[in-house]
A and B are shown apart, each in its own frame.
Chain A
Amino acid sequence: MQTLITEKRPLGWAKLSILGAVLIICFGAIAILALEVNRKIDEQAAANSDNIQWVLSQVEVEYLGLLSAIDDHEETGDVSNIRLRFDVLYSRLSTFETGTAYESLRNDIDFAARLGGISSTLNALIPTIDAPDEVLSQSLPELQSELETLGTPIRQMALIGIDFFANVSDSSRHVVWLTLMRVAALTMALVLALAILSIVLFQLYRYAQRNADEISAASARLEAMVSSTLDAVIVINEAGRVVEFNGSAESIFGYSRVEAIGAPLVDMIIPLKHRKAHLEGMKRHLRDGTYHVVGRGRVQMDALRKNGELFPCEFSIARANTKNGILFVAFLRDNSAQVAAERELLAARDEALAGEKAKADFMAVMSHEMRTPLNGMLGTIELLNDTDLTEKQQNFLKIMETSGRLLLHHVNDVLDVARLDSDKVVAERNPFDLSQMIAEIIDSQHGISATNDTAVHCNLSDLGSPIVLGDEKRLRQVIMNLLSNAIKFTRGGTVMIEAEQIGDSDVVEFRVSDTGIGIHDDDLSRIFEDFVTLDSSYAREFGGTGLGLGIAKRLVESMNGTIGAESEPGDGSLFWFRIPLPILAKSKSTELLPTSESKELEISNSMDILVVEDNQINQLVVEEMLTKDGHRVTLANDGREGVDKAAEQYFDLILMDISMPRMDGIAACVAIRNGDGPNRNSRIIALTANALPEDIERFKEAGMNDVLIKPISRSKLARTVSVTPTAPTLNAPTTAAAPEATPTPKPEAPTAVDAVDSEMLANLIEDLGPQMASNLISTFVTETDTMVEHLVETPPEDDVQMIAEIHKLAGSSSMFGTVSFSSLLRSLETIGKTQSAEKMRDKAPEMRELWDTTRAELTELVEDMMADE
């Protein structure tokens, strides 16, 4: 509204007042001049000139009167008349001499000379006049002749005077003329000013007219807007009474305009529960000028309809200061439809999400449920293959097996996708030997590559044989997928696996290239999508779900990496991916273990062993020891995974750590024993670093066959493993390892002298080989550095968590013969579990000093031993 009427004015009030002042000055000047003219005219009036001339001529008249009186004396003899006439003449002349009115005239020399002459003559005659009558009578002839000499000068004086005053009149008339001219000029100016004023006033009138037109147009527009808007517009005054209520307000709130105008708003549309707050808000606003709602944009609140119905209402309030006081303008919108729509949308989304989740769950469950019977089928096919069969039957069986394995592969793919899509699990970070892993992958693909007459090479360039920190399982699966793909599409060519560290960063790039059929550009962009199988007969030949690369992409991304492919149709393809993979140690050797070597290690009584252990170092050690003894090792990272693995495949032995995340060893053991999987009767041996007598009792109750106390040596392990492999002795757990370790470890005071058991360390190096042992020890040292710092400086707030971390560290340290350190850790764990967490926390800082000593001794010992090798 305001903006509509603020336009520039044609003439300001200042200018107008200046013009007014000019007019007043003109009027004033004219009035003054008019008075002046009036005065001048008065001066010019007949009385003035007549009077002067009268006075001048009167002298002559009186003079002649005197002479006539003297003449009359001869007849009457009256001298008193002569005296009176003389006195009158005298008084006339004396008036010229003294009167201020004749001052200018007196300044005329001729006049003054004659006046002086006449006066002196008259004065000389006074004694004669005042003499007694007789004397005067006798002197009359003398008096007469004396007086007659005055005739000429008196006449001349009168003429001079008349002439003089005629001049004065002339100049006076001129002054009047000048004044009249000025009046005329001023009158012209006044007329001009009036003309300008009337123009200005006309402009002002037109401007005001235009403004009025605009204002009425604007208010008409506003009126139209307010009445046609879909929002309710309600205007209230300071007293909270409605002064405006538009059509939409009528339809939204159900009150008619007539009902609403003048009624208090609060009783109409504010719900009961908000009324007090509303009134207080109004009061506060009017008192302090503070705003809670006014001018704060859109606010959502419940409002009341006439029929008592509450509905969600979105509104904004603006304040307007008008001549008639403060007005509040509220724009309100019935939001019930929108809120309902939002609610429906939300419900629809939730439903869709639930459906999606159900689908994913279904996929996961189905795949899982399909895998178990498939495994059964495949096992049975293998068993069937060992029976007497005709060649035809063997062929059928082969087809069945191939189909079964393909089906299993597909199911595994789907399961992977479902898991990767649903799990928010972050990639794990554990140390492992990268070169060995790649060697194993190549080895696993040996059959197909041989069939395809394709050579598989590996080049880790300057990485050597590195121990890296990452998610071994996922990385393995990615490389496996890429490699099997490459081999699949390459006949009589070469497949190359390369790995390279990018600069000094932790990022490692892996490349799998082949000299196969290649991929068209058009297809390159979609090969990482799900269920993509390139539509070529060549590709069809191999079948597949088309999930392989999709899974690889998901896996790489879950490890915070990127994946891509380049290809030249006919020349081959290159798949690459980059992932953060910190290298813990680089081996000097760039050689890979010959893939065939593993087969040489096989010995007659090799066993399938499942190692369930959450500590990666322990995993590595145990795996290495068992592998060297010719056993086939499957690893599981925790109890649950252990149970899953145990459900898939039969193991001769399960080594079960006790303290693990998600599911501990005891629960896993119970699950396996109570399940109907292939391992419900397998031997299960507990692996524990801290076995209290009552714990061992619990392990037995859970179905453990034996307990192996950490630290574990190769010989101890070998002995325990080899005990009656085929006869599970549920009720007779042996404590074969007990004599070698402390079955019931008591908290011991750390001995500074002998922090490291050098014999145990030597055994470890011997068991694992210097390469492996050196890598492991350096990993252990690095990890322990971090852990000790963490436990001393920023211990976890949760007691259970702290105990778990100490336990884990104790498990690692016991492997390396750091007896004092690990016994301190165990005593901390025991205190924490059996006494008080507070006491444990108090004692925890001791770790640092002892670890410093231990570390020094360990490093020294290792160096010595390595030198000896």
Chain B
Amino acid sequence: MTTHTFGLRSFATAAAVIAIAIGTNATAQEMAAPQGVTLLTVSGDITNTNAGDTAIFDLEMLRALPATTIETSTIWTEGVQTFTGVELHAFLEYVGANGESIRATAINDYAIEIPTAEVFPGGALVAYENNGNTMSVRDKGPLWVVFPYDSSTDFQKEVIYSRSIWQLDRIEVLD
């Protein structure tokens, strides 16, 4: 993975330095800077930051957040999959998101919007593991927003499918 995200590494390192710098005198004192490769950058109307106005996360930081595992099939894969990650609802709470909606963007700049009103516990999951393994970019990793599609027909809709963004690397909280 590290090899694939090489381009990001330097940026992530720089961001981490900034985060540390801010972390010492900013409000989000508890939010440490990422030690590994940055996987996700959160910007916009958030209160908890570690890199200037943004919050950046490596895999370890995401793992440190309360993990949730779901089992479901998807329309893009074959057979029932196990996804482990942090619920989007909990994640947004963690970063102190206050916006009306979020914009999630993928590595290839694919972007979708999700109203925060539709983010709730038991809903979207920011998965970092598929079937017990971390995901490479070729496997739609390293972060993939999935929903428990099998649990309800409410999750078997085009709008949900469109929100199932893979190769996620940015979230912006919009007012």
**CB-based closest 9 A-B pairs:** A87-B137, A101-B75, A99-B76, A80-B7, A80-B6, A47-B158, A90-B138, A98-B78, A87-B138
Known: A99-B76, A99-B77, A100-B78. A84 touches B158 (CB 8 A): no
B163–chain A nearest beta-carbon distance, Å: 10
Instruction: Report yes or no: A95 in contact with B158, Cβ–Cβ below 8 A.
Output: no
B1-16 contact mask (Cβ, 8 Å, vs A): 1 or 0: 0011111000000000
Complex CA–CA separation, A51 to B112 (angstroms): 12
Contacts of A98 in B (CB 8 A): 76-78
Name the A residues within 8 Å of B7 (CB-CB): 78, 80-81, 84
Residues of B within 8 A of A94 (CB): 138-139
Cα-based distance from A43 to B108 in the complex (angstroms): 26
Residue B91 lies at the interface, judged by CB distance under 8 Å to chain A:
no
A62 to B107, CA, bound (A): 11
Contact (Cβ within 8 A) A91 B140: yes
- CB contact list, B142-175 vs A, under 8 A: 157-159, 161-162, 166-167
Q: Which residue of B is nearest A47, CB measured?
A: B158
A side interface size, CB within 8 A:
25
Bound CA span A47–B161, Å: 9
A43 to B153, CA, bound (A): 13
Partner of A88, one of B3, B108, B157: B108
B82 at the interface (CB under 8 A from A): no
Q: At the interface, yes or no: A45 with Cβ under 8 Å from chain B? A: yes
- When chains A and B are docked, how far (Å) is the Cα of A267 from the Cα of B76? 97
**Inter-chain contact B158/A87, CB cutoff 8 Å:** no
With contacts A91-B140, A94-B138 known, is A84 near B4, CB below 8 A?
yes
Given A45-B158, A47-B158, A88-B167, decide whether A99 and B75 contact each other with a Cβ distance below 8 A.
yes
Instruction: Give B108's nearest chain A residue, CB to CB.
Output: A88
What residues of B have a CB within 8 angstroms of the CB of A451 in the complex? none
Contacts of A694 in B (CB 8 A): none
Q: Whole-angstrom distance between the alpha carbons of A99 and B166 in the complex?
A: 14
B73 at the interface (CB under 8 A from A): yes
- 13 A-B pairs with C-beta separation under 8 A: A47-B158, A51-B162, A84-B137, A87-B4, A88-B108, A91-B140, A94-B138, A95-B76, A98-B76, A100-B74, A101-B75, A101-B76, A101-B161
Assess the A100–B73 pair: CB atoms within 8 A: yes
A45, A81, A87: most-surrounded residue (chain B CB, <10 A): A87
Of all chain B residues, which has the CB nearest A43? Answer: B158
**Judging by beta carbons under 8 Å apart, are A62 and B108 in contact?**
yes
The answer for the CA separation of A83 and B137 in the assembled complex, in Å, is 10
CB of A48 closer than 8 Å to a CB of B: yes
Q: Which secondary structure dominates where chain B touches chain A?
A: loop
Interface string of A87-119 (1 = CB under 8 A from B): 110110011001111000000000000000000
Q: What does the 1/0 interface line of B100-127 toward A look like (CB < 8 Å)?
A: 0000000110100000000000000000
A107 vs B152: C-alpha distance in the bound complex, in angstroms?
A: 28
Which residue of B is nearest A44, CB measured? Answer: B158
Query: Knowing A62-B108, A65-B108 touch, does A91 contact B167 (C-beta < 8 A)?
Result: yes
**Interface of B with A (CB < 8 Å)?**
3-7, 73-78, 107-108, 110, 136-140, 157-159, 161-162, 166-167
* Shortest Cβ distance from residue B147 to the other chain A in the assembled complex, whole angstroms: 15
Instruction: Let me know if B158 and A42 touch, CB within 8 A.
Output: yes
Residues from chain A with Cβ under 8 Å of B6 in the complex: 80, 83
In the complex, A597 has a CB within 8 A of chain B:
no
Additional 16 contacts, C-beta under 8 A, given A48-B158, A58-B110:
A47-B162, A51-B158, A58-B108, A80-B4, A81-B7, A83-B3, A83-B6, A84-B4, A84-B107, A88-B167, A90-B137, A94-B139, A100-B74, A100-B76, A100-B78, A101-B75
**Which residue of chain A lies nearest to B153 when distances are taken between CB atoms in the complex?**
A39
Any B CB within 8 A of the CB of A288: no
Residues of B within 8 A of A43 (CB): 158
Closest approach, in angstroms, between the C-beta of A104 and any C-beta of chain B?
Answer: 12
* B residues less than 8 Å from A58 (CB atoms): 108, 110
**A51 and B78 contacting across the interface, CB-CB below 8 Å:** no
The answer, yes or no, to whether A130 is at the interface (CB within 8 Å) is yes
Nearest CB in chain B to that of A86: its residue: B138
A320 to B96 alpha-carbon distance, docked (Å): 81
Chain A, 20-76, CB within 8 A of any chain B CB = 42-43, 45, 47-48, 51, 58, 62, 65
Residues of A within 8 A of B158 (CB): 42-43, 45, 47-48, 51
Q: How far is the CB of A639 from chain B (nearest CB, A)?
A: 131
A91–B139 Cα distance when bound, in Å, is: 6
Q: Which residues from chain B contact A88 at a C-beta distance below 8 Å?
A: 107-108, 137, 167
Q: How far is the CA of A95 from the CA of B165 in the complex (A)?
A: 13
Distance of A84 Cα from B2 Cα, bound (Å): 11
Q: Which residues of A contact B138 (CB under 8 A)?
A: 87, 90-91, 94
Q: Which residues of A contact B161 (CB under 8 A)?
A: 47, 51, 101
Given the complex, which residues of B lie within 8 Å of A80, measured CB to CB?
4-7
A 455-513 contacts with B by CB, 8 A: none
CB contacts (< 8 Å) of A48 on chain B: these are 158
Q: Chain B's nearest CB lies how many Å from the CB of A18? A: 35
Known A-B contacts A88-B107, A91-B139; the reply to A100 vs B3 at CB < 8 A is no
What is the CB-to-nearest-CB distance from B109 to chain A, in angstroms, rounded to a whole number? 10
A101 to B4: give the CA distance in the assembly, Å: 28
- Cα distance, A88 to B142, chains bound together (Å): 12
State whether A100 and B107 are in contact (beta carbons under 8 Å apart), knowing that A47-B162, A83-B3 are contacts in the complex: no
Q: Which residues of B contact A101 (CB under 8 A)?
A: 75-76, 161
